[in-house]
Amino acid sequence: MIAITAAVLFSPVERIEHPVVLMDDGFISEIQPRSSYTIPRNAQIIDCGDAILAPGFMDIHIHGAGSHDVMRPPGEGLPAMESVLACHGVTSYFPTTVTAPMDVTLSALERLADVIDRADGNSNKGRANPIGIHLEGPFLSHARRGVHPPENLVRPSIAVFDRLWQAARGHVKLITIAPEVDGALEVIREATNRGVTVSIGHSDATFEQARAGVTAGARHATHTFNAMRPLSHRDPGILGLVLADDNLSADIILDGIHVDPVIAKLFLKMKGAERAVLISDGLSATGMPDGRYRLGAFDIQVKDGKCMAGDTLAGSVLTLDRAVRNAMQFGSIGPQLALRAASLNPAVASGTSAQRGKLAAGCRADIVVLNSSFEVIHTIVGGRTDS
C-alpha cells in the first residue's frame, strides 16, 4: 500500500487541496484531504511536496515517438516510444495507423494486437500502455487525404472493415472515416455496433453529409480544422457540425502550427469543458532532434517543430503536457479544464473511462505529478513509483 501526498489534486472534475491518494495493487483505493485523514500505518508514504497530482494523460491519436513508428515492426522500438510518452505524462495511448497497402496495414494490426495483449499497466515498468488501436484510414476522402497515399485509400465496406477488425483481434477502439464517401454510413453503423468510437475526419463533407454520419453513429471528430472542408458562413460543412453539435466530442492539435491560437480559443469555447480533447498526432520524431523521420512508408522532414511531407503538413512532435500548457495559454482556460481535455475527455470519447482518465477510488493508479508550471516531474503507471 502506497500513500501519495501533494499540494493539490485535480481529479479532474474536482480540486482537492493537500490530498492523500492511497494506492494498492495498481489501483486507487481512496482519496481524502490530508487534514481529515489518518494514513494507515502500513502504508509507504511518498510526499510530493508542493506538486500537483492529475490523471495520467491519454493520447488517442499518435503514430510514434522516440524514433519509432507504430506501423513498423515493434522490436525494441515500442518500449522506447512508451518511455518517451511517460516522460510527458501519458499513461495510456492508442497506436494510430496511417493509410498503407492493405497487407502492410493488416500485418501492423496483428503486431499491435500482440503488443496490446501483452501489455499490463501494473508491470509495464512505468511506460505508457497501449489500450486500443486507432484506425486513421483507409476510409478517407481523396479531397482531404492530407499525406495519406491516394493509391491506398479504400472505398468503405463492411467486408474490408471486418478484415481490419479480425487482424486487430477486436482491439480497434477508434476509427476515423469520411462520412460522405460511398459505403461510409454502413461501416459507421457496423463499427458502432461493435463498440468502436467512430470519428469523422479527413473529410470534405457538407453539413448534411456530416450529420448523416452522426445519425449513423459517429460521435467524435478527428484533428478539428485539419484535413476538413473549410468553414463558410453560407456553407458550414463538416466543421459547422463539429463546432455546433453539443453531442459531438472533438480533438485538436494545439502545437501552434496546425491551428492558430485564436482558432484554438474558439474551439475550446465551442466544445466546452466536457467535449474538447487534446491529441498529439505525434510522429516518430517526437522527443527527437530535427531531421528526417518516417510516417508509415514515407519520409517526413522535421524542422523547428514543423513536420512536412513535401509541401504538406504531416503530424507533429507535440507532447500532451505541452498541449495542456498551450490550452491554458491559447484558450485562457484554467488548469482543471486543460487537464481534463488530456485525461477524462479522451477516455470518455473513446469509451475507456470506466477505470481511466480520472483519479477516484476503483480507478487505475495512473497519475502524473506536475510542478507549478505544469511540467511533468514524474509519471506513475499502474501504481508503479519506482520507474
Please state, rounded to an integer, the average pLDDT across all residues of the chain: 95
Confidence of residue 297 (pLDDT cuts 50, 70, 90): confident
Q: Is the pLDDT of residue 65 over 80?
A: yes
Percent of the chain predicted with pLDDT > 70: 98
Q: Is the pLDDT of residue 242 over 80?
A: yes
What strands, in cross-sheet order, belong to the sheet with 44-47?
A: 27-33, 19-24, 2-5, 44-47
Q: Is the pLDDT of residue 123 over 60?
A: no
Burial class for 98, CB neighbours closer than 10 Å (0-12, 13-18, 19+): buried
Q: Does residue 130 sit in helix, strand or coil?
A: strand
Query: Is there a domain that residue 364 lies in?
Result: no
For residues 266 and 370, give the distance between their C-alpha atoms in angstroms, rounded to a whole number: 27
Query: Is there a domain that residue 185 lies in?
Result: yes
Amino acid identity at 259: V
pLDDT tens, 148-164? 999 999 999 999 999 99
Query: Is there a domain that residue 75 lies in?
Result: yes
Apex CA 227: angle with CA 320 and CA 184, to 5°?
110
How much is the pLDDT for 355?
94
Query: Is there a domain that residue 374 lies in?
Result: no
Confidence of residue 36 (pLDDT cuts 50, 70, 90): confident
Report the helix count and the strand count for the chain, using DSSP H and E: 10, 24
pLDDT (average), residues 196-212: 98
Query: Is there a domain that residue 261 lies in?
Result: yes
How much is the pLDDT for 73?
82
Q: Is the pLDDT of residue 122 over 50?
A: no
pLDDT tens, 176-195? 999 999 999 999 999 999 99
How much is the pLDDT for 76?
65
Where does residue 202 fall: left (phi above 0), alpha (psi -120 to 50 degrees), or beta otherwise?
left
Domain ranges, residue 211: 56-356
Q: Which residue in the list 255, 281, 321, 366 is annotated as catalytic? A: 281
From residue 197, alpha-carbon distances to 134, 176, 185, 193, 317 in Å are 9, 9, 14, 10, 25
The total number of residues written for the chain in this structure = 387
For cell 453560407, the residue is 234
Domain harbouring 275, CATH code: 3.20.20.140
Question: Helices 237-244 & 207-216, crossing angle to 10 degrees?
Answer: 50
Amino acid identity at 316: S
From residue 282, alpha-carbon distances to 85, 114, 222, 246, 314 in Å are 10, 22, 14, 27, 9
Are 4 and 20 in contact by the 8 Å Cβ rule? The answer is yes
Is 162 assigned a catalytic role?
no
Q: Is the pLDDT of residue 233 over 50?
A: yes
- Cis check for the bond before 156: say yes or no (omega within 30 of 0): no
Question: Could you tell me where the DSSP H helices lie in the chain?
Answer: 77-87, 102-118, 158-167, 184-193, 207-216, 237-244, 261-275, 320-331, 335-341, 344-349
Are 126 and 86 in contact by the 8 Å Cβ rule? The answer is yes
For cell 479531397, the residue is 143
Query: Structural domain tally of the chain?
Result: 1
Query: Is there a domain that residue 280 lies in?
Result: yes
Apex CA 224: angle with CA 221 and CA 226, to 5°?
125
Query: Is there a domain that residue 375 lies in?
Result: no
Q: Is the pTM of this model over 0.75?
A: yes
For residues 198 and 182, give the distance between their C-alpha atoms in angstroms, rounded to a whole number: 16
For residues 257 and 318, give the distance between their C-alpha atoms in angstroms, rounded to a whole number: 10
Query: Is there a domain that residue 64 lies in?
Result: yes
